[in-house]
Structure 1
Amino acid sequence: MTDPAGSAVDRLAAVGSATEGPPDPDGKTKGKRTYGPDFLTALFQDPLDPGYADAAARRAAEGPRSGARRWSARTAAALTLSVIGFLLVVAYQKTVDEEPARTQARDTLIGQIQNRRSETERLQKKADDLGGEVAALRESELGGAAVAQLRDLEAITGVARVRGSGARITLVDGPTSVNAVTGERRTEAQVKDTDLQLAANALWESGAEAVTINGQRLTATSRIRQAGEAILVDIRPVASPYQIVAIGPGDLADDFRKGYAGQFFELLSSRFGISFEAAKAKDVTLEAATDLKLRSAEPSVEPSAAGSGGPEPSVTEGGR
């Protein structure tokens, strides 16, 4: 018969011996499963990560080698800064060396421009003097009636300066807006070349005898066209505000305002903000057209009616 008390003592001794020693998560210690400390307990027991410990040990063992690497890094940084500084010095020196040549070229161009301008003024004065001599000779050779008729023709064609009263039409670009999405400028509020053409034609139709746009005299061969955002009148640019001055009847401004052109510009003003004004102009002088050249000319009288019996006149080039 076995002793119950002894059996109990033996089981307690067996259990005590089983629980001694390190934890056994696999439960292989005499068939008993035990567990190690949890993550927080292990973290507080050993807060230093093993990787830091290995790095510290390696740094302690390789101290001189790590210092050499630091020296190499500092040397490389110093060399890089030295190279950059050298390049900056070279670039600055090159710029300073080229500045005199650049300044000299600029001074040369300015001198050429001034010389050409002086030469142009001299030639223009000579041309004016020769023009005056030609006019004096023409008046002395022709009779008074012929000279008066010639002056009337010159005034009509735009060759001569004219003076009188008429109308002054003013057109100003409206505010320019920008598309918030595409960034493109909207040009609906800008005066177009077709608007100036419309105004000039309306003035001619209302009886104007001479018309200028921003000082540019219009003739039978004048052209008003658009070049990008610029408007050219006989290859000369004009900009807002556009002043169209015409010499003609006393009611020229009123007729223009009440006509189709005035109504059209009133519509542009109310819709797009283009400024429009038609007022009377008193005692204005319109300069003659510049560089007016005729490419061909034909006699106004038939050769048979001339009765001169001489050779028939031919078409000429470059006549005025």
Structure 2
Amino acid sequence: MTERGGRAFTPDFLTELFRNPLDPGYAAAAEQRRRHEAAGRVVVGWRRSSVRMVSVLTLVALGFLLTVAYRQTVAAEPSRSEARAGLAAQIRQREAENAALTSQAERLRAEVTRQRDSALSGSAVARLRQLEAATGLGRVRGDGVVVRVADAPSNADAVTGAGGTNLGRVLDRDLQDIANALWSVGAEAISINGQRLTATSTIRAAGGAILVDFKPVIGPYEVSAIGPGQMGRRFEDSAAARLLRSVSEEYGMSFDFRGVDDLTLPAATEPQLRYATPAVEPTSPGPSSSGGGTSPSPSGGGR
């Protein structure tokens, strides 16, 4: 400030306080904060741009890989379809060949039986027929029962298999129990879905299939048996029937049996029997008696 006469006066403290109320340190701190915020916005912007660029590149790479995989899948589909069709054709051909060979074997077996019967006497033929019926190698006919079991409805997905285990599914041991129970109540001949059981028959599981004498059978399963008149009532009281009834009531398995008049069971296929023969031991000279005693045992002592 100046007065008349040219003298200059500096402003007093109060005037300066009201004129500039903010301390210079606060102003410097605010300026520094503004500079940091500006730099941070630049860094954040750069980071966001980098993340966006990486995301775009990742999506582009993923799309490229999916496109390549799709093209390869489409390109390989004709060859896969051709291979699948070829395998299906081979399976059908082998099935037809198997059926033809089975028919031929049945015709040859019938011819052998006719030639045998013509060469033997009547009593010998009757004895052979009884033995064939007892061993399962001959077709039999008579009254009996048919036990029918089938899987319970499954809630599992047909593609993924999700939905849990079907506890009402028929297992190989269920058919084993039925067959053993029928044998125990007097059955003279048994077949499962047309497969005749013999003394060497097997009932096993392979994956999800049940094999009878190494031949697959599919449900519903029918166990047919020929035997005495009281066989059905005795089977109803057996432990196997009680177990299957409880499984049927609890898990929904289908189980029933009925008496059948004039039931016919086919003959079993010729069994592949193997006979064990003792091996011929090589001759070797015995222990010499000149030593005056027996040879020691491998452990160095004896009892």
**Structure 2 length-normalised TM:** 0.61
**1:135 and 2:133 matched:** no
Deviation of residue 216 (structure 1)? Answer: 1.9
Deviations 1:64-84 (A, max 9, x none): xxxxx9xxx8xxx89x96996
Deviation of residue 109 (structure 1)? Answer: 3.7
Q: Secondary structure at the match of 2:258?
A: strand
Pick the aligned partner of 2:140 from 162, 181, 185. Answer: 162
Pick the aligned partner of 1:147 from 103, 106, 125. Answer: 125
Aligned partners of 1:206 and 1:252 also within 8 Å: yes
Q: Which residues in structure 2 correspond to 1:1-320 (within 5 Å)?
A: 17-25=15-23, 88=67, 92=71, 98=76, 101-174=79-152, 185-186=164-165, 188-296=167-275
Deviation of residue 220 (structure 1)? Answer: 0.8
Deviation of residue 103 (structure 1)? Answer: 4.9
- Which is higher, the Rg of structure 1 or of structure 2? 1
| Amino acid of the structure 2 residue aligned with 1:295 | R
Partners of 1:148 and 1:127 lie apart in 2 by 23
Give RMSD over aligned pairs: 4.4
| Amino acid of the structure 2 residue aligned with 1:237 | P
Partners of 2:173 and 2:85 lie apart in 1 by 43
Partners of 1:118 and 1:177 lie apart in 2 by 35
Deviations 1:233-252 (A, max 9, x none): 22233444332111112222
Deviation of residue 104 (structure 1)? Answer: 4.7
| Amino acid of the structure 2 residue aligned with 1:129 | R
Partners of 1:272 and 1:111 lie apart in 2 by 39
Partners of 2:91 and 2:244 lie apart in 1 by 42
Partners of 1:104 and 1:229 lie apart in 2 by 27
Q: Secondary structure at the match of 2:201?
A: coil
Deviation of residue 228 (structure 1)? Answer: 4.9
| Amino acid of the structure 2 residue aligned with 1:145 | S
Partners of 2:154 and 2:77 lie apart in 1 by 41
Task: Quickly say closer, same or farther: Cα 1:223–1:85, change in 2 above 3 A.
Answer: closer
| Amino acid of the structure 2 residue aligned with 1:294 | L
- Aligned sequence identity (%): 42
- Which structure's relative contact order is higher, taking Cα pairs within 8 Å and 6+ residues apart? 2
Aligned partners of 1:212 and 1:218 also within 8 Å: yes
Partners of 2:187 and 2:99 lie apart in 1 by 33
| Amino acid of the structure 2 residue aligned with 1:161 | R
Runs (5+) with no aligned partner, structure 1 = 1-12, 28-34, 37-41, 43-48, 59-68, 298-320
Aligned partners of 2:141 and 2:264 also within 8 Å: yes
Aligned partners of 2:152 and 2:166 also within 8 Å: no
Deviations 1:246-302 (A, max 9, x none): 1112222112112343334334444544443231112222122235233249xxxxx
Q: Secondary structure at the match of 2:176?
A: helix
Partners of 2:225 and 2:64 lie apart in 1 by 68
Runs (5+) with no aligned partner, structure 2 = 1-10, 43-48, 157-161, 277-303
Aligned partners of 1:256 and 1:278 also within 8 Å: no
Task: Quickly say closer, same or farther: Cα 1:184–1:213, change in 2 above 3 A.
Answer: same
Q: How many residues align?
A: 243
Partners of 1:14 and 1:164 lie apart in 2 by 136
